[in-house]
Every structure is written in C-alpha cells, then in structure tokens.
Structure 1
Amino acid sequence: MKLWKRNLIVCWFGMFVTGIGMSQIAPVLPLYIQHLGIKDTAFIAQLSGIAFGVTFIISAIFSPIWGHAADKFGRKPMLLRASLGMAVIISCMGFASNVYVLIGLRLLQGVITGYGTACTTLIATQTDKENAGYALGTLSTANITGSLLGPTIGGFVGETFGLQNVFFITGGMMLIAFITTALFVKESFNRQDSKVLSVKEVWGIVPEKGLTVTLFITFFILSVAMYSVEPIVTIYVSQLSSEMSHVALMAGITFSASGFANILAAPRLGRLSDKIGAHKVMLVCLIIAGIIFIPQAFVKNTWQLMGLRFLLGLTAGGLNPSVNILVKKITPTSITGRVFGFSMSAAYLGVFAGSVLGGQVAGHLGVKYVFFVTSILLLINAVLVYLKVYKKVNIKQY
C-alpha cells in the first residue's frame, strides 16, 4: 500500500473519532449537568450552552498555534499530542464531580485539539498532486461525518450504557487513534524554517491574500450552514412527526443523513476537482446547496426532510475538499500548517456561530426561517466565490 494511502486511512479514523468527541456531548449534556446536581431548567440550559460553545471558541484560538507547531516540529508529533490529550481529557469528563469541572475540561479539550489541522496538513503535503483532491476529499468526510453522527452516537450510548460511559467510550476510541497513529503514520518531514513567525509575518508570506480570505469566509459559512439546524432539528421533527415517542431517533437519523451522503460524495467530487478544477466544483455545489435549503422549510413529513438533508450532504461533499485543495495550491509549504490552522479556526467559529444563529432565528422568527437565512448566506457566498475565486483561478489556472 502506498504511503499516502496508509496515512489517509489512519488520519481518517482519527479525525472521525475526533469529530465524534467534539460533538457527542450535545444530546447528553443537559442530562449530564442535571446528573451533576443542577436542577433549575433555565440554569441547565445556560450551562449547556457555555459547556458546548467553549470548546469550539477555544479551538478557534489554538488551532493556528498548533498549525505553527506542525510546521516547526512535524505533523505526526501533533497527531500524537492531540489524540492522547483528548483521550485523557474526555475520559476525565466521566469523573467530573460538578458542572464547573466539566466546563473546565471542555475548555481544556478546546486547548488540546489540533488533530484535524495536523491531519489535513500531513495529507496535503505528503500526497502527490494527482491524488490530492481525492485524498483531501476523503479526509474531509471524517471530521464532518464524525461531527454529524456524534450527537446520534452520544444519545444512543448515553441511553443504552449510561451518561458517563459516553465519555469513557469516546476516550477509549481516541486512545486507539493514538496507538494506530504511533504505529502506522509515516512522515517525511523537513523543517522548512525554525524561526517563530508572528501572525503578521505569516500573513506577509501568503501570496494570494484576497483569495485566501475568501476561502476562509467560505469555510466559515459552510460550517454555519451545516450546524444552523442542530439546535432546531428535534423541534422541527416533532412538528412534522405524529409519533412523538420516536422523535429523538427520527431527529438523529435526519441530522445524520447529510453525514452519510457526505461519505459517499466527497471522494468522488475530490476526484472531479482534480480533473476539472476545485473552483468549479465549489461554485456549483454552493449554488445547489443554497437552493436545497429552501424546500426544507416546506416539507410535510420527516422523510421528505431526510431526503433533502441527504441531497445537501451530497453537495457538501464538494465544498470542504475544494477549499482545502485551493488553500494547499496557493500556500507556500513552509507555512501550510499555520494557514490550515487559520482555516480550521474559521470552521470552529462557524460551528459555534451556526448553532447560535439557528437557535436565535428559530426563537425570534420561527423554525422555517432558519432554512431561509442559511440559504441566503450560501447564495451570497456563491456570488463572492464567483467574483473572488472562480474568475481569478480561471485566469491563473492554479
């Protein structure tokens, strides 16, 4: 087996588990906080929001830092650091004595993350040009799918095996990711520059600043779009379903439908990006995704919503890989880790912003308006990509 394929398999598993670890707490968090002694419903909601959001905010801050460390010391050491650190920290959540310890551990989880940044950088720099789109497309399915399936997995494990075991099982999976990374990931790393560069100095090296910013914005909006429905999907399914006893299960399947579609589509669209250009795939998928959000507001039953979420996942499979391919092509090798770190920061901020946006829009305007607002964001982003990415890449032919 070729080295890049072996690295891809190991990194895919690690990013998948990391995605689960970042998101599996969502459905069990309010119940676990109640288990830790908080009884007031309003206070539980407030603490749940803090505990869920703090991980992504802190991850956005530290992702560029770990990206720089990956450029300086190598990507494999960062993979080992992040996987082992998350294995320990997530397992400790199962032993939390009170809610403030839990929030503190969630904060530490945000600090220690960086597995995804290191994986993306490793695959981008170690894979030959002819297979870069396929490799990055396949890799992108891992974190997205793990994040989308995480709430369903967390809810199932919590209901079947107990709330604390959600953390123990996830920690155990991260430990397996650490062991497989240590044994099977091989990296040919040449330190490009040992000098510690400031953000301003890194930005000065970036050759295509406008294009890079547009790609960051695109990554942010994509994350907002994928997570805007997370706060309201259970409510929406309950409005559509006559069988109230199965709402949680139906909501989980509905939310995960896009993740399953993403697994199917991303590698194939990555291959297509290698052939016709990532900028073309990204623009078309953005437009289709923006359109698909609109009919989700008019569905009559849960099965229609599932079908549209599945179609959305197919289009999403061509978006994140396209961003990563273009970032790789326009970024000097010596700062690839730092730039991918900034890209991941945009994604983490998008996850947090999407969750907040969905809840606020649903609370003030109604659930259906979440889909309209998200559609508008994606279509505006499509116009921005056409003007700032598509035309420029067509001219320069990256």
Structure 2
Amino acid sequence: MPFMALYIEDLGESGSLVEWYAGLAVAISALASALVSPIWGRLADRYGRKPMMVRASLVMTFTMGGIAFVPNVYWLLFLRLMNGLFSGYVPNATALIASQVPRNKSGYALGTLATGLTAGTLIGPLLGGSLAQWLGMRQVFVFVGFILLICCLMTIFMIREDFEPVEKADMVSTRTLLREIPHKSILAGLFVTSLIIQISAQSIAPILSLYIRHLGERENILFVSGLIVSAMGISSMLSSPHLGRLGDAIGNHRLLVLALFYSFIMYLLCGFAQTPLQLGSLRFLYGFGVGALMPSVNSLLTKLTPKEGISRIFSFNQSFSYFGQVAGPFVGSAVATGLGYRWTFFVTAGIVFINFTWSVIIFRKYLGAKEIT
C-alpha cells in the first residue's frame, strides 16, 4: 500500500488520475469483499472453515502476486477486484477459532488472533516500503504472492478443524439462523460497532500527515506519521490477549462498553493535541481501547451464535467492517475539508460516543450479569 500511487505512475498514468486510481485500487477490493463475504460464510458453514481459508489464500497468491506482471492500471484494478471477491481468510480464521475453542476462553483466543492481525498491519507497510526501495516495486508483489503461498501450505498441513460437512438439505437457512439468535438487538449493535471501529480507525488516515504538519512538524513528516500509526498498533498488539482474558473474566459486554467510552475520550483528546509528541502519546493510549474492542465483539458473536451458523454471522460482521474501511477515509476527508483537521477527531469522537450510548442501551439488562446467555 505505501507505494500504490507510485506503481500506478510506473504503469503509465499521470496527473490527478494517479490519486483516483490509487484510492480505487484500495476501495474496490474492500467493497467487493463486503458484498461477497456472506456467500463465502454460507459455504463455510456447509463445507468447513479450513477449505475456505485454503481457497482464499490460494487465489490471493495469484491475484496479489500477479500484480507484478500487469501491463496497465486496468489489469491492476481487475486483480484488486478479484482479490476482494475471493478473499475471506480472516473471517474464516476467526470463525474457526470461535467454533473450536471453549466459549469461556474465546476472548483470550480471539485476542491472540487480533495480535497477529495487528502485527501484520504494522509490519506490512514497513516491509513493503523497504523492499520496494531495495528490490523494486514489482518484486514486492512477487514476494507477497510467495508469502500467501506459504500461508496456503501452512493452512493445509498445520491447521486441523473438527468439522463434518453438512448436506445442503440439512443446512439451516440464514432466516432460521437469525430467528434462533435470542438477542437480535445486540447482534445488530455488534455489527454496527464493527462498522464504527473501522470508520473511526480509518477516518484520520487521509489527513494524519497534514495534521502532523499543522502541529509544527516540518522535516520528518512521513517518519513521524509512520511512528504515530505504529504507536497505536503496538499498544493494541501488546494488550489484545490480556484484555481478551479480562473480558472472559468480567464479561465481554462490559469490556466493550468500557472500551467504547475510553476510545471516545482518547479521540476527543487527540483533537486538542498541540504537538506531534502529544498526538503520538494519545494514539499509543488509544491502542489499548482498540485492543479490547474487536476481541470483545468477536467473543460476543461467538456466544450469541449457534455453531452451525457461526461462519455466516462472522461473514456478515466482516462485511460491516469492510464497509467501514471504505466509508472512514471519505468521512475524514469531508470533515477536514469542511471544518478543519481537528474536527475530524471531534466528529469521530462523536460517532464513537453515539455507539457507546447505543451499546449501553442494548446491554442495560445485562451489565449486572457476568455473561450474556
């Protein structure tokens, strides 16, 4: 991702179209994933999560590795579209863990998975940018394809799943599955929370470097920007397993409500930051909130959902996350353009506070109980 715009220039595009195609290359993959994720979720409930993980990693080996050989930007967009249509490794990995691990330990297990995801998010851009400088941009895509091939082989030979394929006639329909879930308002609230987590995480992405310059940094803007992004990821990565275990102990719904309020405070304070150091410190502290949110959401989805439909529910949740990834940058850019950089943080804080208030309302019957049953 760090050099996508430069790669598009290398393919022969120039001017304002470069930014347009770079944004489209990112958004088209997330949007396609959001639309087809429920289809893959239904197939996972029928045939198992491991086959879906093998399918995703194998196809992505070619869609990502193949970008190294595209002759123009249209083939790049086509492969990014195919990458989104055939993705789905993460939601199926989440569903596999959720279906195999005892429910009273799901917070810890899913928190550990979140640690891996966060680590990849941190390492990926740094590794991609460094290798592009050293080897060239096209070679990076070959390298990524090779990594995905290793991922596919590890999934085939190192992951076991206790799953019996289900005949089509015996499959529980999605409508029946939703009827069997007792707390539909909580389910809807968790989906929206996943959407807002991504909106809030992505809203500042387009303006972060500009905001850092606004705070007085002039010489090392890109380095400081990367450091501030990494600060949030590091604290999230370090805290996710421990906060997941805390959620198992005190109730994941309680931890979710606390993490939303904590995130609201952190975003509000980021809007008042006066120096890049203050902003970086607040973003590091905000990472602890992120480290609690996704494991809490996933653990609650696990406890609410019958095992025979868990992949479909996680795929719906992933669709909301993808839509948040698409919407977040647009929200941040629009607010910054109309009201100024600081207001991006204030508006994001307001969105998180609305989510917090709604969560308190839907959880009010259960905040006195350790678990939702």
**TM-score of the two chains, using structure 2 as the length reference:** 0.94
Kept after mapping to 1: 8 A contact 2:254/2:367: no
Where does residue 207 of structure 2 map in the other structure?
Answer: 232
Kept after mapping to 2: 8 A contact 1:227/1:355: yes
Q: Distance in 2 between matches of 1:330 and 1:167?
A: 40
- Aligned pairs for 1:211-226 within 5 A: 211-226=186-201
Deviation at 1:129, TM superposition (A): 2.5
Kept after mapping to 2: 8 A contact 1:237/1:251: yes
Identity %: 36
1:292 aligned residue (266, 275, 295): 266
- Aligned pairs for 1:1-398 within 5 A: 25=1, 27-40=2-15, 42-191=16-165, 194-195=168-169, 199-244=174-219, 246-392=220-366, 394=368, 397-398=372-373
Q: Distance in 2 between matches of 1:316 and 1:302?
A: 21
Q: Distance in 2 between matches of 1:155 and 1:238?
A: 22
The Cα offsets for residues 161-187 of structure 1, whole Å up to 9 and x where unpaired, read as: 322233222222111111111111011
Letter in 2 for 1:44: V
Q: Distance in 1 between matches of 2:85 and 2:254?
A: 36
Kept after mapping to 1: 8 A contact 2:103/2:302: no
Q: Distance in 1 between matches of 2:237 and 2:11?
A: 36
Residue correspondences, number: 371
Letter in 2 for 1:329: K
Kept after mapping to 1: 8 A contact 2:203/2:328: yes
Kept after mapping to 1: 8 A contact 2:240/2:295: yes
Structure 2 portions without partners, runs of 5+:
none
- Structure 1 residues 177 and 273: alpha-carbon distance in aligned structure 2, compared to 1, 3 A threshold: same
Kept after mapping to 1: 8 A contact 2:64/2:145: yes
- Structure 1 residues 342 and 109: alpha-carbon distance in aligned structure 2, compared to 1, 3 A threshold: same
- Structure 1 residues 366 and 184: alpha-carbon distance in aligned structure 2, compared to 1, 3 A threshold: same
Deviation at 1:192, TM superposition (A): 5.0
Deviation at 1:257, TM superposition (A): 1.3
Letter in 1 for 2:274: K
Deviation at 1:394, TM superposition (A): 4.2
Kept after mapping to 1: 8 A contact 2:47/2:166: no
SS at match of 2:340: coil
Q: Distance in 2 between matches of 1:298 and 1:159?
A: 36
Deviation at 1:158, TM superposition (A): 2.5
SS at match of 1:94: helix
**TM-score of the two chains, using structure 1 as the length reference:** 0.89
Letter in 2 for 1:263: M
Q: Distance in 2 between matches of 1:152 and 1:231?
A: 18
SS at match of 2:197: helix
Q: Distance in 2 between matches of 1:339 and 1:385?
A: 19
- Structure 1 residues 286 and 148: alpha-carbon distance in aligned structure 2, compared to 1, 3 A threshold: farther
Q: Distance in 2 between matches of 1:319 and 1:57?
A: 23
Q: Distance in 2 between matches of 1:119 and 1:73?
A: 14
- Structure 1 residues 386 and 193: alpha-carbon distance in aligned structure 2, compared to 1, 3 A threshold: farther
Q: Distance in 2 between matches of 1:394 and 1:333?
A: 26
Kept after mapping to 2: 8 A contact 1:254/1:309: yes
Q: Distance in 2 between matches of 1:298 and 1:313?
A: 18
The Cα offsets for residues 322-354 of structure 1, whole Å up to 9 and x where unpaired, read as: 111111111111110000000011111111111
Deviation at 1:312, TM superposition (A): 0.8
Kept after mapping to 1: 8 A contact 2:217/2:276: no
The Cα offsets for residues 58-116 of structure 1, whole Å up to 9 and x where unpaired, read as: 01011111111111101111111111111111010111110111011110010111101
- Structure 1 residues 306 and 153: alpha-carbon distance in aligned structure 2, compared to 1, 3 A threshold: farther
Where does residue 20 of structure 1 map in the other structure?
Answer: none
